[in-house]
Chains A and B, each alone.
Chain A
């Protein structure tokens, strides 16, 4: 059974929502990245979504964009990112780890070779931010060959045609968007209606994680009550890194307190 499946089954039994943090590998440094990821896991993260830094992350807002550029300014290559993943995987063999990246990083090293690497480093899923389902076939072929779950984004205005198409592709979980636009915490998050979630579930029986604009406990409670299985939280965590650059302990303490608070709100609903 896949790590995602095990994790989601356990959470369903416990009647709890999942908390999946997103951070960019290498921001603010490789060493700190490991420490940040470990703090998130120790605080109770259910799975990890890790960004591989890219020069032009156009699906992301300013906070994650700057995080990508900070990581890139240190000149770490993709191999270094995979090494970090390897370190985490060795210590935490059960936690599902997904990566988020942009198509050119995959295309540049060869699609087959990329998924082979993902399999070698024991990754669970890949989300490609700038490849829609319509262009996915070649990526999908190799993802399946190497047993890597392909994560797809479901927009908040998805129609029945798209949802039906999604059901034949999505694996692991579906990344449900809270709102249109790019990642970030500045904009108001529109709560997804129970009706919409029900409609998504009509076509898809794999778990749903809601992302974009997740920044506080009230929102998380609302999301989970609307019927999703959990949330993905990125910009709010990365904002802590940005606001406390060069203050290692501050970053770790604040991320610990922040994520603990959010994780608590996924329980006792």
Chain B
């Protein structure tokens, strides 16, 4: 029996080998205890404020919206220590690991942001750290691999399957099924078996709470829409959390990659169907028989064939809307924000920004307030983008 409901509507659950169930029950029990434990909560908030650098600002983009009646705000998770929203929840999970008396952390990473965040938390809280990463992602995210190693993490190259995040996730789960007695598996997004989607949301909900206070202060009203990119969906569920019961449009942006019709995308919510994978029931990219298909995105952090179960549920009840943005559109938004506002966004966040720009350009005279969760900074992506621009002779 679980202490919390493992399902979001029909989505979620605990679809893992039996051997892992005690580890998930132990984690859930400790999570429930930590929520009521004042000293845990105080320490978590202390670290967020004094180590990670919260609250992050809400920045109005005056140049980007010039000549229109749209006001676009960016929630600046790129300014969090580590360069992305990931730091919020790894601090929480690392504290949970210590509470459970685990000595080591295993994690998987795509873009490397979760890997870097995990390495940060482990260095700070003195935990051993092992990161699984697809060999292709190791190649396209070299600076982050270096950062992880510098902070003492062991980075393990995953060569099986497609050599990306999906395979790194499988390897991390395999490792955990052998080592759960002394390790904690730090899942990086609001996906996977229960209780992970609930834990990750709990530690990321601060993004939404801050955003609500800040927009009420700056605009004296709630925004029309909140837009966030969705790979697994942790930054999106974090910023959506405090607005789910408000009259605000919630828009999740999935990667359309090279175009939905090419099949090279990572948009299971809009173009997949329900299935069971990575410990949960959710939307999946899969073939007719149920074999999991490879996803694609210019952004390694969005390159995942499934999505967190709460997003699957919000989509099914139509509380949130999920759309997709191509690699090209994201690349363009990446450059526009850099040029107009002096902010280099992560390629992940560029997807959300690209959709906000679409809304603005579609109706420039509409008086509207849009908030984009700028989930991370783009330093890690400058090599990928510079290569593309050089090849196109645009640099």
Given contacts A56-B161, A58-B170, A153-B19, is CB(A132)–CB(B289) below 8 Å? no
Which residue of A has the minimal Cβ distance to B172?
A: A58
Residues on A with beta carbons closer than 8 Å to the beta carbon of B275:
104, 107-108
Interface centre among B160, B274, B290 (most CB of A within 10 A): B290
Residues on A with beta carbons closer than 8 Å to the beta carbon of B22:
155, 157
> Which of B9-17, B62-70, B140-148 participates in binding chain A?
B9-17
Q: Are B291 and A132 in contact (CB under 8 A)?
A: no
Interface size, chain B (Cβ < 8 Å): 36
B357 within 8 A of A: no
Q: Mark B9-33, 1 if CB is under 8 A from A, else 0.
A: 0000111111111100000000000
Given contacts A182-B174, A182-B178, is CB(A55)–CB(B292) below 8 Å? yes
A133 to B1, CA, bound (A): 11
Q: How far is the CB of A11 from the nearest CB of chain B, in Å?
A: 25
Choose among B180, B181, B289 the residue that contacts A108 (Cβ–Cβ < 8 A): B289
Interface size, chain A (Cβ < 8 Å): 38
Given contacts A56-B161, A56-B170, is CB(A132)–CB(B290) below 8 Å? no
Q: Are A109 and B180 in contact (CB under 8 A)?
A: no
Q: Mark A129-164, 1 if CB is under 8 A from B, else 0.
A: 111111100000000000000001111010000000
Given contacts A69-B161, A72-B291, A109-B289, is CB(A59)–CB(B276) below 8 Å? no
Which residue of B has the minimal Cβ distance to A66?
A: B160
Q: Are A181 and B18 in contact (CB under 8 A)?
A: no
Which residue of B has the minimal Cβ distance to A177?
A: B19
B198 within 8 A of A: no
Q: Are B177 and A132 in contact (CB under 8 A)?
A: no
Residues on B with beta carbons closer than 8 Å to the beta carbon of A102:
276
Q: Which residues on B are within 8 Å of A, measured CB to CB?
A: 2, 13-22, 160-161, 166, 170, 173-174, 177-178, 180-181, 274-279, 281, 284, 286, 288-293
Additional A-B contacts beyond A55-B293, A135-B14 (16; CB < 8 A): A56-B277, A56-B292, A58-B170, A62-B160, A78-B289, A104-B275, A104-B276, A104-B277, A105-B291, A109-B290, A132-B20, A133-B18, A177-B19, A180-B180, A182-B174, A182-B177
For this complex, 17 residue pairs linking A to B, each with C-beta atoms less than 8 Å apart, are A55-B291, A55-B292, A55-B293, A56-B292, A58-B173, A59-B17, A65-B160, A69-B161, A78-B289, A103-B15, A104-B290, A104-B291, A104-B292, A108-B290, A132-B20, A157-B22, A180-B177
Q: Which residues on A are within 8 Å of B, measured CB to CB?
A: 54-56, 58-59, 61-62, 65-66, 69, 72, 77-78, 102-109, 129-135, 152-155, 157, 177, 180-182, 187
